[in-house]
Copies of this chain bind each other. A is one copy, B any other.
Amino acid sequence: MTSSQLYPAATLLISCPDQQGLVAKIANFIYANGGNIIHADQHRDEASALFLSRIEWSLDGFNLPRDLIGPAFSAIAQPLQANWQLRFSDAVPRIAIWVSRQDHCLLDLLWRHQAREFAAEIPLIISNHDSLQPLAEQFNIDFHHLPISRETKAKQENQQLALLEKYQIDLVVLAKYMQVLSGSFLAQFPQVINIHHSFLPAFMGAQPYHRAHERGVKIIGATAHYVTEDLDAGPIIEQDVVRITHRDDVKDLIRKGKDLERIVLARGVRLHLQNRVLVYGNRTVVFA
C-alpha cells in the first residue's frame, strides 16, 4: 500500500503485555494529533499473553512535529512496559549486501532495487571474494573485498563494522555470504538478514542440497531469517518450497533452489523494509 501513498507515513511496531484499551490508547494518540490510520493490524499471543501490533498512519495533517512523536508516544508506552519502534516511510534505510561467489541473489536484489521494489539505498557491497566486483561496478555501488581466514576473521570483522559505520548502514543482507558472523559482530550490529538454502529447520548448516538429495526428499525449500549467534536458528521471516523428483540431481536442486533463494530473500527484505516484521522471542509476527 505504501506504494500508493502521496504523503509520508509513520509506522509503529509495538509489543507489550496485553491489557484492556491498548488499541484505543494508541488509536486515540494518533487521532488526537490529527493523523489518519492507513493500516492497523494486531495479534495476541495466547501463550505469552502478549499484545503485538503494527499501526501505520498518514503524516498528512498530523499536528505533532516528527521529533516529538517519539517522546510523546514513549509517555504512553512506558507504563505499558512496551517495546516499540517508530519509523517514517520517507526515511530511506541504507542496505549493505554481503556476498561470496554466487551472483544470483545479489543481481536479483539490485534489479529489484532498480525496479523500485525496495524503498532503500544500497551504497555498499562487501565480499570475501572479488569475483562479483564487476557486477557492483555495473550498478555503481562501492565494493569492498575482505577475504576471511581463521586468522584474519576478527580483524576483518572490525573492518566490516567500520565500513557499516562509515556508510551509515541500517541493514546487512547476507545474499549467499558463506561465512559465519561472530557473536561479537552481531552484538555490535544485530540487524542482519540471511537466506538459507533449505526449509529450516531441515538441513541446517553446510551443503543442504546435497543432504536433501541424499535423504530423497520430494520438496526443497529456502528460508529468510534474522541472524543470531546460533547458526541457521534465528527468527524466520519467510519460507517457500518447490517440488523436485528423482530426476533432479544435486545440480538440478541447486538450480531450482536459486529461484527460491532469490524470491524468499527478496520477500524477507521487503517485509523488513516495510516494518512488517516484529520479532518476539525467537519467532516473528509478519504483518503482511
- Give the shortest distance, in Å, between A191 (CB) and chain B (any CB): 18
Q: Could you tell me if B117 and A255 are in contact, using CB atoms closer than 8 angstroms?
A: yes
Q: Could you tell me if A111 and B107 are in contact, using CB atoms closer than 8 angstroms?
A: yes
Contact of A249 among B1, B201, B202 (CB under 8 A): B1
Question: With a CB–CB cut-off of 8 A, which chain B residues contact A38?
Answer: 44
Contact of A202 among B34, B111, B201, B258 (CB under 8 A): B201
- Give the shortest distance, in Å, between A122 (CB) and chain B (any CB): 17
Question: With a CB–CB cut-off of 8 A, which chain B residues contact A4?
Answer: 46, 249, 251
Residues of chain A in range 156-202 having any CB-CB distance to chain B below 8 Å: 199-202
Question: With a CB–CB cut-off of 8 A, which chain B residues contact A138?
Answer: 138
**Number of this chain's copies in the complex:** 4
Q: Could you tell me if B37 and A31 are in contact, using CB atoms closer than 8 angstroms?
A: no
Residue-wise, chain A 86-107 has the 8 Å CB interface mask toward B (1 for contact) of: 0000000000000000011001
Contact of A246 among B241, B255, B286 (CB under 8 A): B286
Contact A219-B202, Cβ < 8 Å, known A1-B249, A20-B36, A38-B44: no
Residue-wise, chain A 38-82 has the 8 Å CB interface mask toward B (1 for contact) of: 111111111100001000000000000000000000000000000
Q: How far is the CA of A174 from the CA of B58 in the complex (A)?
A: 42
Q: Does A142 contact B (CB under 8 A)?
A: no
Contacts A201-B203, A218-B237 supplied; 8 other A-B pairs, CB < 8 Å: A23-B30, A24-B28, A27-B28, A39-B43, A40-B42, A138-B138, A199-B219, A202-B202
For the complex of A and B, list the 5 residue pairs with the smallest distance between their C-beta atoms, beginning with the closest: A216-B283, A24-B27, A24-B31, A202-B202, A21-B31
